């Protein structure tokens, strides 16, 4: 019995390696099949890519030639640019930037000889002033000790600092001139009349805000010119009706040198550090925000009032049809 059991055990020990060899053979066969399939798949993909490559290259070339047919473009601009009145109107009305303008305008109303382009020039100068002003803020401290030193440092040590400051200064002067010319043109052409009375009043407010921007910026260099300009200007504010202690009805309303409009503008009774700080805040934050709101309303009303008011419609000589004989 012992010999039989030993024989059985011995037989079992001899069968184990054979089973291992069969498992190894199956693993090698499976691995070889996987490798074969992968190689065949890669070969097929390369052949497909080689066959599709000319078509894809041609498609990319067509996209470069006409980007308006790409999916990205059509997802932004939802309407075709077909030369039909309907699609042209939809292309304007469905665009976040273009919808500010009317779909149709009087071609004579956009002539530079008629509008002088002063409204657009004024807005462009405002953008220049905003950009250059933000850059100037990196080098300026609104304190009596640092303000004038920062201006000298900006002009003499900062790369392109002098041209940056002069761009801001001359753009401010030009903006005042452009606003005056714009309103002069509007008055000459009668564009303040019905139905544009409200927008004319908005434009008057923007003119006042432009002058206040220029005035508050005068004190920021903290030099003699700015000091005396603000001194004279705020002394004039003492005579403001109702709000100045020297103005009409100011005394009756209890106005004194320490609570009137001049005191509020300067933050005190003299032009000192408080006046410099208040001018800085009004010039860089307060007035630009208010002016931006009124500009948005102004542009919106131009759109809602039927666009730019133009001259009476005229016909070009090429459009005049000769009567049939």
pLDDT in tens, 220-246: 999 999 999 999 999 999 999 999 999
Range of the domain at 92: 55-99
- The per-residue pLDDT for 7 is 47
Of the candidates 170, 127, 88, 149, the one whose C-alpha atom is nearest the C-alpha of residue 291 is 127
111 domain-assigned = no
Same domain, 176 and 248: yes
Same domain, 175 and 256: yes
Of the candidates 238, 216, 189, the one whose C-alpha atom is nearest the C-alpha of residue 287 is 216
| Average pLDDT of every residue of the chain | 84
Indicate which CATH number applies to the domain containing 217. Answer: 1.20.810.10
Same domain, 209 and 155: yes
283 domain-assigned = yes
- Which run of H or E residues covers position 268? none
Domain termination site, one of 65, 99, 133: 99
Same domain, 213 and 88: no
Kindly tell me if the per-residue pLDDT of 38 is higher than 80.
Answer: no
What Å distances lie between residue 78 and 65, 70, 96, 307, CA to CA?
Answer: 20, 12, 12, 24
Instruction: Give buried/exposed letters for 136-153 (b at 16+ CB in 10 A, else e).
Output: beeebebeeeebeebbee
42 domain-assigned = no
The predicted-structure confidence for 276-315, as pLDDT tens digits, reads as follows: 999 999 999 999 999 999 999 999 898 888 778 776 655 6
227 domain-assigned = yes
Same domain, 74 and 213: no
Same domain, 179 and 72: no
174 domain-assigned = yes
Same domain, 63 and 148: no
Q: Write out 165-197 in H/E/C secondary structure.
A: HHHHHHHHHHHHHHHHHHHHHHHHCCCCCCCCH
261 domain-assigned = yes
Same domain, 276 and 140: yes
Between 10 and 269, the higher pLDDT residue:
269
276 domain-assigned = yes
Could you give the number of structural domains in the chain? 2
Single pTM value for the model: 0.71
Residues 244 and 237: beta-carbon distance below 8 Å: yes
Instruction: Give buried/exposed letters for 32-44 (b at 16+ CB in 10 A, else e).
Output: eeeeeeeeeeeee
9 domain-assigned = no
Same domain, 272 and 152: yes
Same domain, 187 and 284: yes
Same domain, 85 and 198: no
The predicted-structure confidence for 127-156, as pLDDT tens digits, reads as follows: 999 999 999 999 999 999 999 999 999 999
Same domain, 142 and 258: yes
């Amino acid at each position: 019995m012992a010999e039989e059991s030993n024989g059985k055990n011995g037989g079992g020990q001899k069968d184990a390696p054979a089973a291992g060899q069969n498992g190894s053979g199956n693993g090698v066969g499976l691995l070889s099949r996987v490798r074969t399939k992968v190689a065949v798949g890669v070969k097929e993909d390369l052949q497909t890519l080689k066959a599709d490559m000319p078509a894809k290259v041609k498609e990319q070339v067509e996209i470069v030639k006409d980007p308006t047919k790409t999916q990205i473009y059509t997802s932004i601009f939802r309407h075709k640019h077909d030369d039909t009145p309907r699609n042209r109107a939809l292309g304007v009305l469905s665009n976040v930037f273009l919808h500010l303008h009317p779909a149709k305008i009087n071609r004579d109303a956009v002539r530079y000889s008629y509008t002088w382009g002063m409204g657009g020039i004024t807005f462009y100068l405002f953008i220049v002033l905003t950009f250059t002003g933000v850059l100037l803020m990196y080098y300026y401290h609104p304190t009596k000790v640092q303000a004038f030193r920062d201006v000298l440092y900006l002009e003499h040590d900062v790369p392109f600092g002098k041209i940056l400051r002069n761009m801001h200064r001359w753009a401010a002067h030009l903006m005042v001139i452009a606003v005056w010319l714009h309103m002069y043109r509007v008055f000459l052409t009668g564009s303040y009349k019905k139905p544009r009375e409200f927008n004319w009043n908005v434009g008057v407010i923007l003119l006042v805000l432009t002058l206040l921007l220029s005035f508050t910026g005068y004190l920021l260099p903290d030099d003699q010119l700015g000091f005396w300009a603000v001194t004279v200007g705020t002394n004039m504010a003492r005579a403001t009706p109702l709000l100045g202690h020297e103005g009409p009805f100011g005394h009756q309303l209890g106005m004194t040198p320490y609570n009137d409009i001049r005191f509020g503008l300067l933050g005190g009774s003299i032009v000192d550090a408080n006046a410099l700080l208040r001018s800085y805040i009004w010039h860089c934050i307060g007035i630009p925000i208010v002016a931006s709101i009124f500009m948005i309303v102004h542009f919106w009303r131009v759109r809602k009032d039927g666009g730019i008011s133009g001259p009476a419609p005229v016909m070009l000589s090429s459009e005049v049809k000769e009567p049939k004989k």
